[in-house]
Structure formats: C-alpha cells, structure tokens
Amino acid sequence: MSIFEKFSPYLERMSRAVQIGRSPIGIQFDDILSPTRGVIEGKEVIMIGTNNYLGLTFEESCVTAAKAAIDAHGTGTTGSRVANGNYVGHTKLERSLNKFMGMASTIVFSTGYQTNLAAISALVGPKDQVFIDADSHACIYDATRLSTGTTIRFRHNNAEDLDKRLSRSQNTDGARLVVVEGMYSMFGDLAPLDEMTEVAHRHGAMIYVDEAHSFGSFGPKGRGLSEAMGVLDKIDFYSATFSKSLASIGGFCSSKHPQFELLRVSRPYMFTASPSPSAIASAQAALEKIISEEGLHDNLWARARQLHEGLAQMGFDLAADASPIIAIRRHSEEQAVRDFNTLLDRGVYVNFSGPPATPAGISLLRLSVSAAHTEEEINKVLSVFQTLAQDNKVAMAAS
C-alpha cells in the first residue's frame, strides 16, 4: 500500500472540481491591488473572501511600521523567544494588548492557530476535562489532541446541552475548561457568550473564548463579541489572531489570571520561531489604529447588512443573520464549485468551503466583508449574484 493512498478520496474530489472548472483550492492571485481588489488570470476581481475585516492591509501606518521594523531588526527572528530572546516589539505588543483588553497577562504567539494549540493544550492536564463546541475550528480540536485531558463535545451554540454535560461531570478531581468561539468562521453565526459564561462559571469551570473572527469587528472599542455582550471581564482566557482585523500574522491569548504567564512553557511557544519584526510592528500599528479611531468598523457593518439583505431578497439560503461573514448553502459540492467558477469569471472572488472544514459536510460559498468595501463594490457583487441566481433557475428548469 502506498503511503499516499489515503489521499485518494481527496484527489477524486479535486479531479471532479477541475472537470467543472478551476479547482477553488489554492487559487493564485497575480497581484493584490488594494484590500478589496486583486488580479487573477490577468483580470481584476473584487475580493470578498479575505477576512480583512477592517481593511488595514494597505493602511499607511501599518505598512510604514512593517518597513521600519525590517530596516531596524531584519526580516526574521530565526528562533523562539525562549532560545533567542524577546525582541522589544514582542514585549511592547503584549503590554499594549494587555492594557487594551484589560487583562492580567497576555502572550503573543507566531500564528492564531498556534495560539489555541499552545494555550488549550497546556491548560488541560491529565485529570482535566475540556468541553468544546461541536463546530469548533480545527485548531481547537488539534489542541485537545495535544492535551492530556478528556475532551467532551456539546451541541453547537447550545448552552443547555453544555449545562447538562457539565452537570454529569461534577465528580472529577481535575479542572474543567469550556472552549467556545465568538463568531464562527464558516457560517458567521454568533455564540451566546453571556449564557455560555454563566453556565461555565455556575459549574465551577473556566471559559476560553476564541475571538479570531470577532476581535476588532464587534464591541464599542473593537474588543470582540465578549465586549459587545458585556462579559469581557468574566472571560478567563481570550484568544485572537493577527491575521484578520490586525492585518498581519500571529496571535495572542489574554487572561485575567496572572498565572497565565506560566504558559510560556507550552510546546508551541517554546519550539517555534517567534513572530517576525515586521509582523509584530504592523500588528502594533493596526492595534493603535483600532484604539485611536472610533467607528472603524461602522462601514464594515453597513456593507455586511447591505450584502446580507440583498442576497436574502434574491432567495439565497443564508446560514446565519447578518455579520461580517456571510455563508450561502449550496445543494452539493459540485454546485458550489460551479458557482465559484461562475462568480470568478464575472469578476468576484469568494471562498469555496466544503468538508471537512464545514459542519455536517455542507458545501458553502463563503463571503467575508471588509470595512474597505464601498457601497458600489457591494452593489457590483450583488449584481453578479443576481445573474448567478437567474442562471441557476434556468439550469434547474432545464433539468
């Protein structure tokens, strides 16, 4: 048996996709023109699948800071912070995030994925239990595999089911940790963080919230869904990534518990090269932009509502209420791939999402709105989707 034989089902799926058109996995951009425009196959397209929620990737202060950091400290750190030491940018950003979040401890990691991998796996020991939402991101599932505790899943966004499972597990010698997300990355639906926090703490468990997709875009100050729901001060552990609203790469986890500093012994922190000077500097500049400019996400929400309302009026099957992530359910993977290609041919780039990334094996067209999108760009996207809807009706009638 070949070691690659296990990939046969994946290869078959990719082969079917190519027969329909381009494979949506690994599309190449020939150029990136702005936060909302790119070039694919020599043609300019509107990008509405980037997670660039605040549109800061071309923001002047972020670009200038990244360039200055390279000039001052080079292109990379070439080692972990444990081995090679902390750069001043690392500690400055941790202090800034700590103050912004109102927490006792903040640790910066090399990616958002490694943030959850490090923090959750280190927190959950042999006698401990971790309760995770069934629709959790892959990095949360992988963190539980790296941990030495017991993993218990509860139904997606269901505080009642979490309550039942915590009740059944009270006779344990170890600690219990509940892990949820703020805005879920596939459907764009929101967790009832107020309910989840109350249930967790009532049972003596701690709560860990991954706000990768909601940091910067929710809350009066951009501190996420926890802030918007008024429970930020009750969250035990709060993680987020730099690769969405902070327009860089990296991640952080903050905690109201000073002992969180002990997690610098976690394996993904100790054995991974620390974030590059330019990534840290641009994230710092983006954070300062969020702090100093109130209403930075106002246009994001205006455009999200505009897009969601327009798609709903056309009859598309939308997975959740209006949010910066808008997911459209398709009847099959083949239809999703076909629609992806049609949209790209007409100048609109979206995300194709399918199993195993999606819950229940559903295939989606996934759109993520940016504060940099204009009303005119969203209208253009809607006009393309209107044509797609008409084409699909004709195809269904013919079949």
| pTM recorded for the entire structure | 0.95
Residues 161 and 73 in one domain: yes
Residues 106 and 37 in one domain: no
Boundary (domain end) residue, out of 292, 313, 339: 292
| CA dihedral angle for residue 302, residue 238, residue 100, residue 264, rounded to 10 degrees | -140
Residues 163 and 305 in one domain: no
pLDDT at 392: 79
Residues 74 and 203 in one domain: yes
Q: Is residue 278 part of a domain?
A: yes
Residue 363, beta-bridge partner list: 330
Residues 159 and 75 in one domain: yes
Residues 138 and 251 in one domain: yes
Three-state secondary-structure class, residue 240: strand
Residues 74 and 212 in one domain: yes
**Residue 380 is part of a domain; what is its CATH number?**
3.90.1150.10
pLDDT at 398: 63
Residues 77 and 18 in one domain: no
For the chain, how far is it from start to end, CA to CA, in angstroms?
41
pLDDT at 76: 97
Q: Is residue 319 part of a domain?
A: yes
Specify the residue for token string 């009642």: 160
Residue of 392, 321, 378, 390 whose CA lies nearest to 350: 378
Q: Is residue 2 part of a domain?
A: no
Q: Is residue 115 part of a domain?
A: yes
Residues spanned by the domain of 384: 10-53+297-398
Q: Is residue 5 part of a domain?
A: no
* Whole-angstrom distance, CA of residue 93 vs CA of residue 102: 14
Boundary (domain end) residue, out of 235, 257, 292: 292
User: Do the Cβ atoms of 268 and 114 come closer than 8 Å?
Assistant: yes
Three-state secondary-structure class, residue 205: coil
User: Residue length, the chain?
Assistant: 399
Residues 155 and 208 in one domain: yes
Residues 323 and 343 in one domain: yes
User: Do the Cβ atoms of 322 and 304 come closer than 8 Å?
Assistant: yes
pLDDT at 355: 86
pLDDT at 26: 84
pLDDT at 394: 64
Residue 209, beta-bridge partner list: 180, 238
* Whole-angstrom distance, CA of residue 170 vs CA of residue 205: 10
**Residue 236 is part of a domain; what is its CATH number?**
3.40.640.10
Residue of 157, 175, 13 whose CA lies nearest to 166: 175
Three-state secondary-structure class, residue 178: strand
Residues 197 and 247 in one domain: yes
CA atoms within 13 A on the CB side of 119: 34
Boundary (domain end) residue, out of 292, 318, 348: 292
User: Do the Cβ atoms of 283 and 248 come closer than 8 Å?
Assistant: yes
Residues 307 and 241 in one domain: no
Identity at 42, one-letter amino acid code: G
Q: Is residue 4 part of a domain?
A: no
Three-state secondary-structure class, residue 160: helix
pLDDT along the chain (399 residues), means of 10: 90 86 91 98 97 98 98 97 95 98 98 98 96 97 96 98 94 92 97 98 97 97 98 98 98 98 96 97 98 94 98 96 97 94 97 88 95 98 96 68
| CA dihedral angle for residue 199, residue 188, residue 31, residue 355, rounded to 10 degrees | 90
Element (H or E) spanning 299, and its range?
helix 298-313
The pairing of beta strand 206-210 with beta strand 176-181: parallel
Q: Is residue 3 part of a domain?
A: no
Number of domains in the chain: 2
Q: Is residue 385 part of a domain?
A: yes
